[in-house]
Structure 1
């Protein structure tokens, strides 16, 4: 309401066939890109007089960001905040529109979100100690987002191992995204 903006760290996203499959958020993003993203998005939000959570999807081109898409709402690329931030994007959105305090969310651990697309519920996912299941209770259909898995831990190596342990519990279409997330965590 007063032009004050707070931000989450930049999130790396893997899209396959135009669908977000996996997101990785690290507590210490590239400082230059983070500052650029914050300047770009705050300028857009202030110009529009927008209040609430807004997601900005960008391509990294050299040392700069190129905006691909704006989503004036909570977004599945930010679902990791449910378990990986002190304030989730959902709560932050409500705080913003209700004109409640907006402290900068604390993000102290790496996080991974795996979008569940057209996949049947598997309670075995919950046997993994770092997995948080968010199931939407929708009819499962091909291409439909039916839930997501969040994983976070202060130790990126343990988080990468947890993704490896999760791999046999998901169909082959998820495996490349899990490997990609492991690479991001261990880079």
Structure 2
């Protein structure tokens, strides 16, 4: 359960009434161009990470283009020492081998940033962004398929689009 300060709630209500809430992110989230991101410092399997994001009314990050991928790499780099593993993305091929989709939208990945010789298949069905394990200056930010039962950090995403608020306000 996410708790928000009284000041934040008042600001949120004012901005929502003006139709401007889309420029705010909850505390602990990082604002990007079109989304807010929550880089978790805890480790979880892909399924648990997806459930934790869902509990925060968000989803594992869907990387739409090279600029967003670069932004995420930079965000992780800011706090590099806080992380010890790679990061889960929303992609997998659990329903059909070799057919990677974004789990939250069921859409095929239109943008991909696979590391060389990836995806390698087999029992590796979930997509991670290389930041630590198997990563060097040339592969940081590239994608790898990994067993969904491996424990990684994860990035949750909420969209900054008009409509209903992307997260629950409690208080």
Whose strand proportion is higher, 1 or 2?
Answer: 1
The structure with higher relative contact order (CA 8 Å, sep 6+) is 2
